Structure 1
């Protein structure tokens, strides 16, 4: 009997794939690719909502009944902290707490936790109408923190910010709202995640 893997995705609008059907979000695309590669995966369990900040995700987790443990956990949170002009030190503290909870939910195995960097929405049509330079700078500051914490806690790190900045055709990189990533963009994220998860499954 093949082991059936479980995957928990924690986050905000980027995790549910705002503007797309849920099946086209990156957690679902990731599971789809892993199934194609011959792994048995349950549908991803997603705790995420558009607009959530770190403390709002935490509050939702406090009210949620989790499985005793998951084979994989992903965490992508922070864009709304930045967007609302929240204190970056508050983000660091709350992100660290969420990361520790993520590791605990992954059965205490940090290599089974994947932190995704915050995409740079300054390059999107939505972001271009704002102070794009300021946004890019702040997103970098946030990602410097979440990457440092990922290294400290020995979890896997997926840099999707670079993917968002390199998107040559900006129009197909986002959905109709001019802000959230398209299915095509998420498929690039999913490929990165699958490479890391496959390597971890073998361990």
Structure 2
């Protein structure tokens, strides 16, 4: 009887220690890498550096990550860039191919500068394919964001010509993404409230405000959460 009791005691101690070790397993931190490709709408023209949407995304996603995880941003974006400018900048920067997330928002300056639409039809798919390459070769890690409609700003003055042009670019991008099973997030309707809600427009009267970018994030964040935490 004493022998059986001793064995039971040793077994119980071993079981409890095993459970304790399992419950205290340290999860190694993950270092997420995010590449933001685009133009002034990614660069955040006329808002603070922490106010642009990639930075707001960084702040928002942390609530879904472990405490020791990191989220690093590399940005290849500048005000005034067309698809051609972005392609050239990518060649110069030569990003690595190990990004957990890539966003692409491009095309408004093609429209604004009156570039042939055929140029976008050629270069947008090229940029998408490059972005997939940077996203570990996995298109599930890519998010394409629609172009804001700057017609609905004091600069655009409600121009139907501008709005129609932006619509054409967005329709092509959306169609291409849907045909290729790439995540496309529409934020254009948010910017079409710019004349009714001036707080959605930055102080320059043209670009989205910090508030507008926060509304972009409300739509982008759920997709990013799925991509990073699944």
Superposed pair shares fold, TM > 0.5:
yes
Correspondence 1:53 to 2:82: yes
The superposition leaves residues 150-192 of structure 1 with CA deviations (integer Å, 9 ceiling, x where unpaired) of 1122211110101111357432111111001000000111121
Alignment match, 1:106:
135
Equivalenced residues, count: 201
Unaligned runs of 5+ in 2: 1-27
Cα distance in 2 for partners of 1:46, 1:153 equals 25
Say whether the 8 Å CA contact 2:97–2:133 is kept in structure 1.
Answer: no
Say whether the 8 Å CA contact 1:120–1:136 is kept in structure 2.
Answer: yes
Correspondence 1:85 to 2:102: no
Cα distance in 2 for partners of 1:97, 1:67 equals 17
Correspondence 1:192 to 2:219: yes
Partner secondary structure for residue 10 of structure 1: strand
Which segment is superposed worse, 111-120 or 151-160? 151-160
Alignment match, 1:136:
163
Say whether the 8 Å CA contact 2:152–2:193 is kept in structure 1.
Answer: no
For normalisation by structure 1, the TM-score amounts to 0.94
Alignment match, 1:173:
200
Cα distance in 1 for partners of 2:212, 2:70 equals 22
Partner secondary structure for residue 178 of structure 1: coil
CA RMSD of aligned residues (A): 1.4
The structural deviation recorded for 1:22 is 1.5
Alignment match, 1:72:
101
The one of the two structures with greater contact order (alpha-carbon pairs below 8 A, sep at least 6) is 1
The structural deviation recorded for 1:67 is 2.5
The superposition leaves residues 16-64 of structure 1 with CA deviations (integer Å, 9 ceiling, x where unpaired) of 1101111110000001100133353423110001000000000010011
The superposition leaves residues 49-88 of structure 1 with CA deviations (integer Å, 9 ceiling, x where unpaired) of 1000000000010011322310000000000000011111
